[in-house]
Amino acid sequence: MKKIVFLLFISASFSCFAQKASISVSDPTKYSNTITSKDLIKHLYTVASDEMEGRDTGSKGQKKAGNYLISQYQANGISFPKGATDFYQKVPADFLKSKSGENLPDSENIWAFIEGSEKPNEVVVISAHYDHVGVKNGEVYNGADDDGSGTVALLEIAQAFEIAKKEGHGPKRSILFLHMTGEEHGLLGSSYYSEHPLFPLANTVTDINIDMIGRHDEFHNDSSKYVYLIGSDYLSTDLYNICEEANKNYVHLFLDYKFNDRKDPNRFYYRSDHYNFAKNGIPSVFLFNGVHADYHKASDEVDKIEFDALAKRAQLAFTIAWEIANRENRPVVDKSGN
Ligand SMILES: [Zn+2]
């Protein structure tokens, strides 16, 4: 009985904080609008081009794609994180082998960083994997949606935060942009990061993970103005509310929770990089458009990407990150995750 009363009291005061905090966070619209189809098109036609050879983990093509990402951060005046010596987190072949059993070459996660102005030690991670499955039988698997779409979304989100910072509206918490390697071989890059975090996991307040946001699935043939959110309420009621509010106030997509159902046989929650944060108790949300006929086929090509939908979903990820980075309290972990 006491416990219940106590819990009710806690949750009532949390929602109070949440309301106060969201009022004090400034309007992200101006910066969200810098995330445009035009820029996404430019980035994705490069990242998902044949020149990148399907970006298989440790391949020459993946490294080339990585160079492009780094060049974009540099062009925007965004550096690698404090405590790192460059834009790479090296993920050794030994580690890749130990986790996957495959003989993969040394590879790299790529990271970029914007330091928070008030709570620099608290870090919001925004992640997307930049590897794909390479070349098979002479065909290049360009992975435009998987996960070229999330990769280029990260570039645009980072640029939006940097523009805001230059105008005096930098994030209060730090933002770590993480381009993961080895996802297609079993979430390897994020597994490595979670075991070798640059910033303590205890200070990592949320992971917003983006994996496939440039297309639509068979359940949304009439409109692509939706996105699946997965996991937002598994660890934190705050995170769920933040996502809902960000969308309702600014982005206006249909948030589809179909795959948030724990009984869903696809088990998407366990199938992308956020899981390596969530399993460590870090509130995590996965933005996803569902699968389609070109999923993991050579036909996952850039000319099939719906750039307006990609831009909207990237704006949602940005707006969620903006709220989390700037609100008074970090999202409270009030659930077990199970
Ligand atoms: Zn993927």
Report the alpha-carbon angle 67-68-70, nearest 5: 65
For residues 180 and 126, is the Cβ–Cβ distance under 8 A?
A: no
**Separation of CA 204 and ligand 1 centre (Å):** 22
For residues 121 and 81, is the Cβ–Cβ distance under 8 A?
A: no
Query: For the residues 155-180, what does the mean pLDDT come to?
Result: 98
- CA-to-CA distance for 309 and 214, rounded, in angstroms? 6
Per-residue model confidence (pLDDT) at position 2: 33
**Separation of CA 78 and ligand 1 centre (Å):** 25
pLDDT in tens, 14-27: 444 444 444 468 99
Mean pLDDT of the residues in the chain: 94
**Separation of CA 268 and ligand 1 centre (Å):** 10
Per-residue model confidence (pLDDT) at position 337: 85
CB under 5 Å of ion ligand 1: residues: 146-147, 211
Q: What is the pTM of this model?
A: 0.92
**Separation of CA 146 and ligand 1 centre (Å):** 5
pLDDT band at 174 (very low <50, low <70, confident <90, very high): very high
**Separation of CA 131 and ligand 1 centre (Å):** 8
Is residue 8 pLDDT above 70, yes or no?
A: no
Per-residue model confidence (pLDDT) at position 24: 60
**Separation of CA 143 and ligand 1 centre (Å):** 8
Is residue 10 pLDDT above 80, yes or no?
A: no
Per-residue model confidence (pLDDT) at position 338: 72
**Separation of CA 295 and ligand 1 centre (Å):** 9
**Separation of CA 226 and ligand 1 centre (Å):** 18
